[in-house]
Amino acid sequence: MNKEKTQGEESNWRCRRCHLDLVVGPVSVAYMGSRFTTDLPHCPSCGMVFVSEEVALGKMADVERILEDK
């Protein structure tokens, strides 16, 4: 994934393979036999999902701990 600057201080993520802007929408995530749906940025063409460091170390780490405790 590429992070490219646009007008102002905003930045958009683009798929490196397809060169399309990522869109935020529902994606299916699986972990330890559990499957759930969450909104994440993904490529509308190839489906590659971008998981930011903030999400990986925050929400996803919390879900991982909950599932491992079961």
CATH placement of domain 2-69: 3.10.20
Domain parsing of the chain, residue ranges:
2-69
Centre a 10 Å sphere on the Cβ of residue 43 and count the other Cβ atoms it contains: 21
Neighbours of 60 (CB within 10 A): 17
Residues in the chain: 70
Q: What distance in Å separates the CA atoms of residue 38 and residue 20, rounded to the nearest whole number?
A: 21
DSSP state of 54: H
pTM of the model: 0.67
**Token reading at 47:** 């489906």
pLDDT in tens, 5-48: 333 323 589 999 999 999 999 999 887 788 889 899 999 999 99
